[in-house]
Amino acid sequence: MGYLEELNEKQKEAVTSIEQYVRVIAGAGSGKTRVLTHRIAYLINELGIPDKTILAITFTNKAAKEMKDRVNKLLENENCRATISTFHSFCARFLREEIRVLDYPRSFVIIDEEDQEKIIVDIMEKLSISKELISLKSLINFVSNNKSDGITPQKAAEYSQGFPGEEIKSQVYCKYEEFLKDNYYLDFDDLILKTNLILQDFEDIRLKWQMRITNILVDEFQDTNITQYKLIKLLCSNQTNLFVVGDPDQTIYTWRGADVNIIMNFKKDYKGTKDIVLDKNYRSTKSILDGANCLISYNKKREPKDLYTENPQGGNIIYYQGDSVEHEAWWVIERIKELHYKNSNCDYGDFAIMYRSYYYSRAFETALIKAGIPYAIYGGKKFFERKEVKDALCYLRLVARNDDDLAFERVVNNPRRGIGEKTMSQIKFGALENKTSLYEYFKESTLSARNSTSIMAFFDAIENAKEEVTKRNIPFAKILENLLENVGYLKVLKDNKETERIENIKEFGDYLFEFQSNNGNIDLVDILQEIALYTNQDEIKTGSRVSLMTVHTAKGLEFPYVFLVGMSEGVFPNQRSIVANPASLEEERRLAYVAYTRAMKQLFLTDSIGYNFSSQSYRVSSRFLKESGEFIKPYYNNSRYKESLKKPIIPKRAFETLEKNNINWHPGDMLIHTVFGEGIVIAMTLETLTVAFKDTKYGQKIISKTFGGITRRG
């Protein structure tokens, strides 16, 4: 039992418990994997439990492999027969043995996401469903969500009556299920659903597996959904020992089905459950844990615990507020450079920049590129490589230059306007023959597609945008917004609830607004050339890199230095959670708690002030900063970077002129109103200014240019 000596008292209590039902509340960094692996070894070595009767479930193949390796090492046995796998892997194994009762052969095929997409695309074509009407992603989500909720295609059809869009989706769902059944295919949702179906409807099979498996261990139990929990229940008999490990404070996947109530109500479902709390943290400093404990204490739906550690106190949690998102990003990169230079043992792989949503990566990517620091987007694409950003960029390129044939080819049928390969070939041939651009030729041609409403709208939108650029009285961000609305691009995203893509486009608009505000009388072409510098960077193939990731992606990871950025209301917590319900806000707080506890040596929190063009409001610091209490300290810099941090709050105005004591206003100008206070010009006409005021009770107002009670700030 020598391997038990490396456990602390609570870990040892969990590992050696002989109660039938055990719930381990394992705080962040408290050694839950160690507990699970030692528990398996203890069952086999000390209690004499046959290894092949043990089932341990975790959520990723990587975690399952790590657990297997650790167990084998503890047992000094490479042939341990305990089943350590994900839910889906276990179910695939189960179905190979039992699926014949559902009239499937043992040789059934498990399809992946790419296969699923192809099947649904084929069904859409057969049913003449336009991708502009209903997106592929929304159909996949419809099928998966209904399956997860146990709703059959027939029931989905009943529920969708009277809702045209839902009726179409239910038709696709029905055809999809028919296709899978006819070809003996199963998708990932089917693996658990059909396992549950067999265990529920065939008592002899259920009893066989209940006798085969006597001990079940479940990792990350807080992330379990209803169908997964049902599977666990069906595998349990009155004699089964059930050992679950999780942390309600780290339930952050409710959007994909995880239900915090499952771990919270476990003791009600299994009477006599023994509770053990692992609250000793081995990862972070005391300062980091103090802030994390203070923050999460504001949640009501949780099991009370305070993480503690024997690690050093460490430095304070540092908070910095930038004058803009760009300044915020610039400060983060300077701190990375400073720490990297000071510590010879510190490389770029020790740093992580985390954010609530993917769109927030943009400013930090551009700052890293300018600084020449290698980085990698963990679990996603770089900002300017994302499809919707490239689409928006190509629309602007076409506005700037109608002869940009590559941009034209990308957007002319995006969203679809009935331009197929044949029409495009005719356009290319005609343009070549007439020695003109694709845009100009198609615009003046008599091709049948030219007469369609959508094609007319496309050309009208481009020409209107060109005119708006020439007038120079509307921010480029607003021009882009109008353009994408007029060509129908944003409508498609909104109809299909493509929230993440919409957020990326809004962030692109914010970038345009900020860049234009800070660089005065700049041309659209200048901005596009600036962006090209970011998109054409040589990829650094070797060496360590700064990791950029969402907090969801960061779950299970740890880094010596963590920068949690974008700590503003409406960003983190996000706007949807603020207006939804207390449960949504609690999940956002849990998400912040997870981010805090990824840090080992130092945690930095940042946000920025200033005007946000996409929300048309001023940024306000996140409530989570205040809720972290006295453990957060503002940044005061005494290093060699002090002077360079003095960034101007007011955007520069290279094109500012004064004529006859009348102010020549431009979008992005800051002003002071004698009654409404500070504001920013977001649009204008010959006679008026549209101003967003910092005080939210005034919001946006239209002010006459000749009004004597306004002055330009700075």
Q: Could you give the residue numbers annotated as active site?
A: 32-33, 219-220, 250, 598
**Nearest-angstrom CA–CA distance, 375 and 382:** 10
Provide the CA 491 distance to its chain's centre, in angstroms. 22
**Rounded distance, CA 40 to CA 212, Å?**
16
First to last CA, the chain: 73
CA distance 232 to 199: 11
Q: How far apart are CA 26 and CA 246, in angstroms?
A: 6
Q: Tell me if 558 sits within 8 A of 352, measured CB to CB.
A: no
Is residue 135 within 8 Å of residue 492, measured between CB atoms? yes
Task: Scan for tokens 């839910």, then name that residue.
Answer: 87
CA 627 to chain CA centroid, nearest Å: 23
Measured between alpha carbons, how far is 130 from 121 in angstroms, rounded to an integer?
10
Q: Which of 608, 574, 580, 610 is nearest to 592 (CA)?
A: 574
Cα 443 versus chain centre, distance:
40
Place of tokens 């907090």: 551
Length of the chain: 714
SS3 readout for 523-566 = CHHHHHHHHHHHHCCCCCCCCCCEEEEEHHHHCCCCEEEEEECC
Is residue 346 within 8 Å of residue 633, measured between CB atoms? Answer: no
Of 188, 186, 169, residue with least CA distance to 177: 186
Across the chain, how many H-helices and E-strands are there?
29, 24
